[in-house]
């Protein structure tokens, strides 16, 4: 029996090479799929690489689309470390919605992808679309083709498409997925917008402080040395001058310590316990804690509701939600929910025990379980918390402005007072001398 070498991807997108024995290339592809892999290339041992084809197709024939992908001009040569591998969420959302519209209009999947390929301006997505077409024409399902590009299409995307294929409602699922992506991006943009103002103010404040510490205060130090003639300076002035001396003379050391601290925090976040501790601090942080908590709850409920309503089994949906939670504390709560559901219990008890979710969320989820309308309830909770995120962002922006102004006033005012205290002493000395 002939031996076939194959290149395939597992569920995580890792490339795997191996070999199987089969009567022909179609049987070889089937055996690779039985291993839970997604074949991309199958080659008969000792022969040139063969293309995957659907059952009944002529293996020697190649579609025009595949032929185009096999031809690479000099202008298409890719440099690995310079070639982008991801697609922005906004571009992927537009692609998903357009594909859903084309399928809903009655176009076959491959033809719809061809239409999108011709009009796509993003280089990465254009190249990926061709690879999707090639995989589908080679016998893969759409979800299998998507799974071969995990950096662009995450598990949530792939599993929703798989559920849509199984239920024969791919267009509806894609439209629902596009809606989900738009709402997620909307929340993300609002949170980023809320962080822009304080970030800019802090950047300017640090710049001003460095300028004062390295250029202005040393000038005052020279003036005080001449005017006070060795007299002791006030404690506040000595403190400010000490800080100025450290910043000016040990600038590289200070910068190195700050950079080292930054990388230390990054390293701790990569560790499981460190990330959990950091995310817990974020959820309980003043000012930003409530906003982060509301964003996490909105993401959890929106993602879980979208997956369940699309036909993804609840245990599988919970695993996907855990990976997309973006918060270790919420992810741990989801693990407990998964274990409870696996044992035949309800969702509400572990949600309540986690301490992350407020009573309103637990109550609505409980009603959803009782009435069999859990996806609808989850979507309603997501809508409520997305509105609360809007309000929280507005309130936070309004609150941060006076806080930042007061902060800058205190810092700059402290420096000014520290510099004027010795001058007052000098003036008093001069006045006393003139009186005599």
- DSSP code string of 11-35: TT--EEEEEEE-SSHHHHHHHHHHT
Q: Give the span between the Cα atoms of 236 and 223, in whole angstroms.
A: 17
80 within a domain of the structure (yes/no): no
Q: Are residues 162 and 190 in the same domain?
A: no
Of the chain, the end-to-end C-alpha distance in Å amounts to 117
Q: Are residues 226 and 274 in the same domain?
A: yes
Q: Are residues 236 and 319 in the same domain?
A: yes
11 within a domain of the structure (yes/no): yes
When pLDDT is averaged across residues 181-186 and rounded to a whole number, the result is 84
From 153, 180, 207, the end of a domain falls on 180
Q: Give the span between the Cα atoms of 374 and 369, in whole angstroms.
A: 5
**How much is the pLDDT for 52?**
39
CA-based R_g, the chain, Å: 31
Contact 184, 295 (CB under 8 A): no
Residue 79 has pLDDT above 60, yes or no: no
Q: Give the span between the Cα atoms of 5 and 248, in whole angstroms.
A: 64
**How much is the pLDDT for 295?**
86
- 3-class SS of residue 39: strand
Q: Give the span between the Cα atoms of 112 and 47, in whole angstroms.
A: 34
Q: Are residues 269 and 211 in the same domain?
A: yes
Q: Are residues 191 and 145 in the same domain?
A: no
The Cβ of residue 303 has, within 10 Å, a number of other Cβ atoms equal to 23
Q: Are residues 29 and 143 in the same domain?
A: no
Percent of the chain at pLDDT exceeding 70: 86
Number of domains the chain contains: 3
When pLDDT is averaged across residues 357-375 and rounded to a whole number, the result is 88
- 3-class SS of residue 6: strand
**Residue scoring higher pLDDT (63 or 33):** 33
Residue 77 has pLDDT above 80, yes or no: no
Cα distances (Å, whole numbers) of residue 359 to 190, 321, 345: 25, 21, 19
CATH code, domain carrying 154: 1.20.81.30
Residue 58 has pLDDT above 70, yes or no: no
Dihedral angle of Cα 224, 230, 235, 236, to the nearest 10 degrees: 10
**How much is the pLDDT for 311?**
82
Which DSSP helix (H) or strand (E) runs through 9? strand 3-9
77 within a domain of the structure (yes/no): no
Per the structure, the complete domain to which residue 56 belongs is given by: 3-61
Q: Are residues 192 and 168 in the same domain?
A: no
Q: Are residues 266 and 413 in the same domain?
A: yes
Starting at the edge strand that comes first in sequence, how are the strands of the sheet with 15-21 ordered?
Answer: 15-21, 3-9, 38-44, 49-50
Q: Are residues 95 and 220 in the same domain?
A: no
Residue 64 has pLDDT above 80, yes or no: no
Q: Are residues 260 and 238 in the same domain?
A: yes
Strand partners, 69: none
What is the per-residue pLDDT across 120-154, written as a single tens digit (0 to 9) for each?
Answer: 888 889 999 999 999 888 888 898 899 899 888 88
Q: Are residues 433 and 309 in the same domain?
A: yes
Residue 314 has pLDDT above 50, yes or no: yes
Q: Is the pTM value of this prediction over 0.85?
A: no
When pLDDT is averaged across residues 374-391 and rounded to a whole number, the result is 88
């Amino acid at each position: 029996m002939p031996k076939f070498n194959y290149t395939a991807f597992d569920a995580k997108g890792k490339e795997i090479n191996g070999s199987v024995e089969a009567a022909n290339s179609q049987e070889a592809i089937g055996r690779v799929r039985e291993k839970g892999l997604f074949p991309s290339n199958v080659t008969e041992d000792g022969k040139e690489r063969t293309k995957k084809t659907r059952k009944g197709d002529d293996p020697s024939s190649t579609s025009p689309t595949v032929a185009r992908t096999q031809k690479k001009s000099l202008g298409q040569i890719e440099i690995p470390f310079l070639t982008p591998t991801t697609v922005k969420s906004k571009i992927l959302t537009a692609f998903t919605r357009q594909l859903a519209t084309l399928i809903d209009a009655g176009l076959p999947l491959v033809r719809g992808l061809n239409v999108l390929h011709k009009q796509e301006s993003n280089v990465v997505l254009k190249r990926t679309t061709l690879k999707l077409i090639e995989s589908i024409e080679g016998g893969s399902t759409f979800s299998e083709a998507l799974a071969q590009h995990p950096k662009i299409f995450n598990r949530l995307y792939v599993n929703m498409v798989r559920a849509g294929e199984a239920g024969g409602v791919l267009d509806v699922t894609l439209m629902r997925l596009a809606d989900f992506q738009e709402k997620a991006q909307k929340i993300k943009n609002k949170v980023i917008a809320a962080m822009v103002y304080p970030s800019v103010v802090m950047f300017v404040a640090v710049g001003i402080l460095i300028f004062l510490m390295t250029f202005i205060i040393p000038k005052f130090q020279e003036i005080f040395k001449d005017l006070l003639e060795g007299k002791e300076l006030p404690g506040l002035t000595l403190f400010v001058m000490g800080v100025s001396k450290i910043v000016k003379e040990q600038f590289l050391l200070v910068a190195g310590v700050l950079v080292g601290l930054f990388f230390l925090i990054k390293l701790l976040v990569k560790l499981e316990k460190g990330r959990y501790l950091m995310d817990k601090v974020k959820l309980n942080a003043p000012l930003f804690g409530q906003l982060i908590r509301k964003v996490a709850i909105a993401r959890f409920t929106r993602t879980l509701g979208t997956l369940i309503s699309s036909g993804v089994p609840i245990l599988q949906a919970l695993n996907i939600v855990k990976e997309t939670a973006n918060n270790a504390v919420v992810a741990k709560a989801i693990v407990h929910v998964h274990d409870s559901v696996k044992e035949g219990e309800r969702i509400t008890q572990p949600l309540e025990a986690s301490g992350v979710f407020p009573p309103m969320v637990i109550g609505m989820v409980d009603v959803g379980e009782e009435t069999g309308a859990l996806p609808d309830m989850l979507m309603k909770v997501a809508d409520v918390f997305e509105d609360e995120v809007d309000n929280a962002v507005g309130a936070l922006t309004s609150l941060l402005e006076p806080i930042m102004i007061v902060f800058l006033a205190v810092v700059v005012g402290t420096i000014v007072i520290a510099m004027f205290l010795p001058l007052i002493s000098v003036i008093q000395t001069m006045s006393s001398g003139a009186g005599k």
